[in-house]
Structure 1
Amino acid sequence: MTWLVALRAIVGREFLRFVHQRERFLSALVRPLVWLLIFAAGFRAALGVSIIPPYQTYITYETYIVPGLCAMILLFNGMQSSLSLVYDRNMGSMRLLLTSPLPRWWLLFSRLVASSAISVLQVYAFLGIAALFGITMPGWGYVAVLPALFLGGIMLGALGLVLSSFVSQLENFAGVMNFVIFPMFFLSSALYPLWKMRESSPLLHDLCAINPFTHVVELIRFALYTRFNAEALLWVLLASVVFSLVAFWGYDPARGLMKRKG
């Protein structure tokens, strides 16, 4: 019960912070909507999409990039949550939280759960706006995608925790975020199928194929069409475990960098 109380308190605190930061919600929607409504119009002719799984017929480019833009929201929100973690650590509130008698890994996992839950809400808001513009998914897909979104949020949030455990200053973390976010996003299947990447550069195709963000995108893409992608699920689970273990190590004062930070 004590663990559940701590989980509820941390999740509630993050939701209250999110409610009072309306600009955070708006910025999370502006980025994918710009890609969906503006860039997609210009790229539609150049990046026509063939019939590839899970699609049964030709689709518009706008429809293709929706799963990638959902994953973009998860990625940016995971990094934003980690940025707030760096701020909390510098202000002392994070150190106070980590003095709790509960296991450190459970406290950090609770932060991941809170960040993922907020990300999922933002994704559904984006999908609702996309539907207003006529870009819809199968009805049951909106339900089937929920576990994929939550798992993807956990993985990307854990990656953010890893970065925040190695960076102590807010200014440095902002630069590291850009160094990680944009390569992960553009070297993935979010904006174009991997077979198109193979035609231009086999090396870039291989980089996209091993990019964990690619598998988050594909897990969401298949789930939106009520299809199961075992390979993507395996990669996302593996990356989630690895990132989480590294993050828990990084925040352990006995071994990680937190010891050297004071």
Structure 2
Amino acid sequence: MSAWLLALRAIAWREALRFVHQRERFIAALVRPLVWLLVFAAGFRAALGLSILPPYQTYITYETYIVPGLCGMILLFNGMQSALSLVHDRETGSMRLLLTAPLPRWYLLLCKLAGATLISLVQVYAFLAVAWAFDITLPAWGYLAALPALMLAGLMLGALGLALSSLIKQLENFAGVMNFVIFPMFFLSSALYPLWKMAESSELLRDICALNPFTHAVEMIRFALYLQWNGPAALWTALAFAAFAALALWGYDPARGLMRRKG
């Protein structure tokens, strides 16, 4: 057990050190959602009227509506950046050293995923603190109640990044795939507008948004911030996490890699 805990601590500590030394990564993680919150929201506020919909019990400002979606944006981008670092580690050879440790490969990947998720949580709560400074307040207990939802969403999106990193072998290709995954996943969701608003434009787009696991992650966070439990959203997020994690384990299976080299 001590070896397992030591591996978890070492991998999480490595992720934390990498994050500390990459200060521009932390700044970018804050600037990106703040641009949406303070600039784009000003233009969308008049164009997108919001009705009273759960978990809200009264009319809210557009800035308040998009806060959960922007939290999801931080988790999404950080999950992809963590996976990008995995591709880099594989090219430099340090990934090979990690996966040859005398521990199950699934546990090592889970440690990597847990470390990246903890970094994501730090970024999310830093963003929520800045949003609070701009007078966008949420229920006080909601900040704590949202922690499990943020963790599950972070694990799901991090597992998606792991799965992609296992299938893409070159750093240059992964950067392009990141944009191909991030932007459709973000814009085809309820992060910026409710699904009923999307249905007014196209029922097909609304159905695509409803199938998007990022939509369920955002709605789970949204309800948790207002001290409500969204069971279906949590279930779909957990199922997506299981599917992406299984794909990542399959992608990093050494037997599959050996068979590929023989072929």
Q: TM-score range by the shorter chain?
A: over 0.9
Cα deviation code 1:200-224 (max 9, x no counterpart) = 1000000000000000100000000
Match of 2:87 in 1: 86
Within 5 Å, give how 1:105-254 maps onto structure 2: 105-254=106-255
In 1, distance between residues paired with 2:259 and 2:234?
34
Shift of 1:85: 0.4
Q: Distance in 1 between matches of 2:261 and 2:176?
A: 19
Whether contact under 8 Å (1:140, 1:226) holds in the other structure is yes
**Contact persistence 1:81–1:157 (CA under 8 A):** yes
Q: 2:42 aligned with 1:27, yes or no?
A: no
Superposed CA offset, 1:184-239 (max 9, x none): 00000000000011111000000000000000100000000000000000000000
CA drift of 1:47 comes to 0.6
Query: Any idea what SS the aligned residue of 2:103 has?
Result: coil
Q: CA deviation at 1:136?
A: 0.8
- Write the deviation string for residues 237-258 of structure 1: whole angstroms up to 9, x where unpaired: 0000010011011001102x57
TM-score (normalizing by structure 2)? 0.97
Q: Which amino acid aligns with 1:216?
A: A
The TM-score normalised by the length of structure 1 is 0.98
Q: Distance in 1 between matches of 2:178 and 2:260?
A: 22
| Amino acid of the structure 2 residue aligned with 1:195 | W
Matched residue type, 2:47: A
Task: Mark the runs of 5 or more structure 1 residues left unpaired by the alignment.
Answer: none
TM superposition shift of 1:73: 0.0
SS of aligned partner of 2:255? coil
- SS of the equivalent of 2:46 reads coil
How many equivalent residue pairs?
261
Task: Report how far residue 261 of structure 1 moved.
Answer: 6.9
Query: Following TM superposition, by how much is the alpha carbon of 1:2 offset from its aligned partner in structure 2, in angstroms?
Result: 1.2
User: Residues 68 and 93 from structure 1, CA distance in 2 versus in 1: closer, same or farther, beyond 3 angstroms?
Assistant: same
Cα distance between partner residues in 2 of 1:259 and 1:92: 20
| Distance (Å, rounded) in 1 between the aligned partners of 2:84 and 2:65 | 30
* Partner secondary structure for residue 72 of structure 1: helix
Amino acid at match of 1:126: F
Following superposition, the deviation at residue 260 of structure 1 comes to: 3.7
Runs of 4+ in 1 over 6 A off after TM superposition: none
- Alpha-carbon spacing, 1:261–1:133, altered in 2? closer, same or farther (3 Å): farther
- Residues 100/210 of structure 1: CA separation in 2 closer, same or farther (3 Å cut): same
User: Within 2, Cα distance between the matches of 1:153 and 1:206?
Assistant: 24
CA distance in 2, matches of 1:213, 1:30: 21
Q: Tell me the amino acid that sits aligned with residue 206 of structure 2.
A: H
Larger proportion of helix = 2
Per-residue CA deviations over 1:122-158 (Å, capped at 9, x if unaligned) read 0000000000100010000000000111110000000
Task: Give yes or no for contact 1:252–1:259 (8 Å, CA) kept in 2.
Answer: no
Tell me if structure 2 keeps the 8 A contact 1:168–1:261: no
User: 2:19 maps to which residue?
Assistant: 18
Q: Is the 8 A contact 1:79 1:177 kept in 2?
A: yes
Cα offset, 1:48, TM superposition: 1.4
